[in-house]
Chains A and B, each alone.
Chain A
Amino acid sequence: MDLPTSDIHKQAVKSLDTTSLLTNAARQRDARNYASFPIVDVDCHHYENESISEIVKYIDDPVLKQMGMLYTGGGTGGQTPFNPGLVGYQDVAGRVTRYPLRKTEVTPGDDNHRDVHLSLRWMDAMGVDYVCLFPTPMLSLGLHPQPEIEAALAKAYNRWLLENITAKEERIKTMMYVPFSDPEAAYETVQEFGDHPDVIGFMIVSVRYHAVHSNAYMKTYALMEELGKPLGFHSNYNWNDRLVGNSNRFLVTHALGFTVYNAVHLCNWVVNAMPERFPKLKTVWIESGLAWIPWVMQRLDNDYKMRWSEAPSLKGLPSDYMREMYYTSQPMEKPDNLDILKTTFDMINADNQLLWASDYPHWDMDVPSVIYDLPFLDERQKHKMLGGNAIDLFGLDVSKRFPNYKPA
């Protein structure tokens, strides 16, 4: 097919083949012998919108279901009742070619869902053994003006995902989408899906304007804690945000948005002493990179020392609590001066708390070598960050692929 590029150089490109696109990743895999230790990707994606006509059939509410089937069938024009809409172009106007070519990729027409085939292709190329799979457009569903839509679609998606994707491939797990706009629906989600073996935790989409410390959520956190499964906050951007969207370039709204939403929720989580209220509930901060964490640690500690009376339930510095949280690495900033990155690793106790993530197939994905090639890490540290820490955190059973696995 032809891709429009700069006008005189319109280029013919081959249809997409993930395995071919990732040939160099496979070379890295073999050169570094990734097969010798388990690699777990804590944040990767599929495009659930491509299966939305299947998903809406799982909606309980007959009126919303009818509406969903209408709009995901022939549609009625440019509108959709489900996606609150995100202006953006993550693919850098087609320069990241796997976006515009995505629909050209051919997968076998067998019983396995296309998303399973596509996931296994990139997992195998990169040398990834297990993944935690998340949706893509639904990451903006927390902005939907109708809480009942988020609740209905989340429930339908969760059921669909467990029946059609994770049930078909034991290497694919998920942290269940929690419809946070509706506290009762959030609680019911944890009740309904919490003990499912493919559900390794719970995920709240960070791009929203709900207070994580609201009393309405306490019973939900308590249930998560009782189940012993972590709670992840997955960030996103929002160009419609009055502050972090206040830029004319996607670069800025992405760079700021993906960090600031998680930063706000994390600050509220800490100063309201949620780690003291739920000491066994582990939190994971997903897809904000790492550079923001030393910033927030220093800001919170500095203010806390002057304004202790506003966070009186804390028994230590905010950074002490943050050091016990988990962070996914992607998109990992790589400063020229690697001492900066090493200091960040030290500050967040990366040896035990850092979880590698690819974010594949999204535009700012990381391959495992972003961790494996860091000169200040030894082999044991690399194995932990690329897989061991996630195996411990989620209690993953990796015995099928690594029968003799022992924690590093």
Chain B
Amino acid sequence: MAKEILVGKASDFKEGDKKIVPNGKNSEIGVYLVHGNWYAYANLCPHQGGPACEGLLMAKVEEVIAEDKTYQGMRFNHDEMHIVCPWHGWEFDIADGQAVADRKWSLRKFEVEVRGEDVYVLA
């Protein structure tokens, strides 16, 4: 049975917030509230072991290509937010934890439960 870790009060989170909680002595889990959804991932990048959840949360960057195939610039797409590992910049889709540059790599995902006011992560 999964261990329950109390993260805190749901009301303490506002959109885009995260909280990093200990998961035993030598690891942590990052818990996020993004687009009204809860997400939790191990604070461990599959690349070289960086603390991915300690990095920035950034919107996906997209190229704007016109119908005639010409490049018109870049924009942020806030529908897809990325966890960015601070060691090297690897980006992970907040929705599933997959590395956007190579989706066979991903952050380890955990389930989040909100019961009443309390937010738990199941580790």
Residues of chain A having any CB pair with chain B under 8 Å = 3, 5-9, 11, 13, 21, 23-25, 27-28, 92, 94-98, 363-367, 369-370
Residue of A nearest to B50 (CB): A24
| Interchain residue pairs A-B with the least CB separation, the first 6 | A6-B59, A6-B76, A92-B89, A95-B89, A97-B86, A95-B84
Residues in chain A near residue B89, CB distance under 8 A:
92, 95-96, 363
B residues near A8, Cβ cutoff 8 Å: 16, 59, 78
Whether the Cβ atoms of B57 and A25 lie closer than 8 Å is no
**Digit string of B86-107 for contact with A (CB within 8 Å is 1, else 0)?**
1111010000000000000000
| CB of B26 within 8 Å of the partner chain | yes
Q: Chain B residues near A13 (CB, 8 Å)? A: 56
* Chain A residue nearest in CB terms to B43: A24
Listed by A's residue number, 16 A-B pairs whose Cβ atoms lie within 8 Å are A8-B16, A9-B78, A11-B16, A21-B87, A27-B49, A28-B49, A94-B56, A95-B55, A95-B56, A95-B86, A96-B87, A97-B55, A97-B86, A364-B88, A366-B48, A367-B48
- Is the pair A9, B16 in contact by a Cβ cutoff of 8 Å? yes
Contact A9 B58, beta carbon cutoff 8 Å: yes
CB distance from B101 to the nearest CB of A (A): 11
Q: What A residues does B76 contact at CB under 8 A?
A: 6-7
Question: B39-78 toward A: CB 8 Å interface, digit per residue (1/0)?
Answer: 0000110001111001111110000000000000000101
With a CB–CB cut-off of 8 A, which chain A residues contact B50?
A: 24
B81: interface (CB < 8 Å): yes
| Contact indicator A370/B86 (Cβ below 8 Å) | no
CA distance A28 to B87 in the complex (A): 15
Given contacts A8-B59, A9-B81, 15 further A-B contacts (CB under 8 A): A5-B58, A6-B78, A11-B57, A21-B54, A24-B50, A24-B51, A27-B49, A95-B56, A95-B84, A95-B89, A95-B91, A96-B88, A98-B86, A365-B87, A369-B48
Please report the C-alpha to C-alpha distance between residue A94 and residue B58 in the assembled complex, in whole angstroms: 10
B91 → A minimal CB distance (Å): 8
Q: Smallest Cβ distance from A89 to chain B, in angstroms?
A: 11
Residue of A nearest to B52 (CB): A24
Give A338 to B115 CA distance when docked, in angstroms: 46
| B binding-site residues for A, Cβ under 8 Å | 16, 26, 43-44, 48-51, 54-59, 76, 78, 81, 84, 86-89, 91
B63 CB, nearest partner CB in chain A, Å: 11
Q: Select which of A11, A24, A95 is within 8 A of B49 by beta carbon.
A: A24
Select from chain A the residue with minimum beta-carbon distance to B57.
A9
A365 vs B89: C-alpha distance when bound (angstroms)? 11
User: For residue B59, which residues in chain A have a CB less than 8 angstroms away from its CB?
Assistant: 5-6, 8-9
B2 CB → nearest A CB, Å: 23
**Nearest B residue (CB) for A96:** B89
Q: Is A27 touching B56 in the complex (CB atoms < 8 A)?
A: no
Q: What's the least CB distance linking A371 to chain B, in Å?
A: 11
Measured CB to CB, the closest approach of chain B to A250, in angstroms, equals: 11
Residue of A nearest to B61 (CB): A6
CB distance A5 to B49 under 8 Å?
Answer: no
- Closest A residue, CB atoms, query B54: A21
* Bound-complex Cα distance A367 to B88 (A): 11
A13 to B59, CA, bound (A): 17
Given A5-B56, A9-B16, A97-B55, also A27-B88 (CB < 8 A): no
Q: Which residues of B contact A95 (CB under 8 A)?
A: 55-56, 58, 84, 86, 89, 91
Which residues of B are found within 8 Å of A97, using beta-carbon distances?
55-56, 86
Residues of B within 8 A of A92 (CB): 89
- What's the minimum C-beta distance from A73 to chain B, rounded to whole angstroms? 33
* From A24, A98, A364, residue with most partner B Cβ within 10 Å: A24
Residue of A nearest to B51 (CB): A24
Residues of B within 8 A of A24 (CB): 43-44, 49-51
